[in-house]
């Protein structure tokens, strides 16, 4: 289980304003989350990715330590600004290693990806069939053994056919992973997030039962002129809206947000 946040401006925002500041920031969620369906804290790593002007590929800072103990990130975060930011804190699924290869956001080329959730009994039952479905290119990019990185590899295969269609590729990934899990008789919680720096797609989805929490905020409060999506509301602003269960949220810089059922 993880907690995650995505920021799409409008204005540039500092990494600290998105990740560290606010009454219920991602920093607070790393040690005192309110809405996690499993786990107690998110101390098994954190990552932050952002896009530098003039560079299509994101910069990513990842650590297998806790966010609250990383003084280096706390020192640089107020000094770095970006119009697109992805960040997550990790609570490793039991049975999966605590190492940097499993920490979101994952990146490949222009894309960044995060996953809040888990595939049941992943390494024993779902890992082989999901990885067998990958192209050679996607498979060769795998570094670790997590379900999240495997899902991202599946998404990259769908994006190769239509790299500008983040929403379509994300929906296809949900369908593909769901089909594999249903065939195996296992559950999967699949809150996914992907960005190319100009748009973001988020899902709130589970194969059984309600999906993990997900909220969005548009042009309000601490983030004027921007769209923010987060596992938990970052503050008490009443403008936060809950993303409906089994829906995909598609956010584009020029045209705003669209919701579609999954």
Tell me how far apart the alpha carbons of residues 227 and 10 are, in angstroms, rounded to a whole number.
8
Is the dihedral angle over the CA atoms 233, 237, 241, 242 positive or is it negative?
positive
Token readout for 159 is: 């994006």
Minimal CA–CA distance to 207: which of 174, 232, 238, 237? Answer: 174
Show the tokens assigned to 12.
């540039």
Beta bridge partners of 247: 204, 261
Tokens (6 digits) for 124: 């024993």
Which residue is listed with tokens 């991602």? Answer: 26
Query: CA 122, CA 169: separation in Å to the nearest integer?
Result: 22
Active site residues: 2
Identify the CA nearest to 167 among candidates 63, 251, 66, 46: 251
């Amino acid at each position: 289980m993880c907690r995650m946040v995505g920021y799409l401006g409008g204005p540039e925002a500092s990494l600290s304003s998105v990740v560290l500041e606010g009454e219920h920031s991602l920093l607070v969620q790393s040690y005192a989350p309110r809405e996690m369906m499993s786990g107690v804290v998110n101390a098994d790593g954190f990552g932050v990715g952002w896009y530098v002007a003039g560079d299509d590929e994101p910069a990513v800072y990842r650590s297998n330590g806790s966010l609250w103990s990383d003084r280096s990130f706390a020192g640089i975060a107020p000094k770095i600004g970006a119009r697109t930011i992805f960040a997550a804190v990790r609570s490793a699924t039991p049975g999966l290693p605590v190492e940097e290869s499993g920490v979101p956001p994952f990146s490949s080329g222009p894309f960044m990806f995060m996953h809040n959730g888990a595939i049941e009994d992943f390494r024993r039952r779902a890992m082989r069939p999901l990885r067998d479905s990958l192209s050679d290119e996607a498979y060769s990019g795998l570094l670790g053994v997590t379900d999240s990185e495997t899902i991202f590899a599946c998404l990259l295969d769908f994006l190769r056919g239509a790299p500008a269609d983040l929403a379509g590729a994300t929906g296809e990934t949900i369908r593909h992973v769901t089909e594999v899990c249903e065939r195996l008789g296992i559950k999967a919680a699949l809150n996914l997030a992907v960005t190319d720096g100009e748009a973001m797609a988020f899902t709130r989805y589970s194969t059984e039962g309600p999906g993990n929490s997900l909220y969005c905020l548009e042009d309000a409060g601490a983030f004027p002129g921007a769209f923010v999506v987060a596992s938990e509301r970052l503050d008490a602003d009443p403008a936060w809206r809950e993303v409906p269960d089994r829906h995909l949220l598609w956010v584009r810089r020029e045209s705003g947000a669209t919701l579609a059922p999954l």
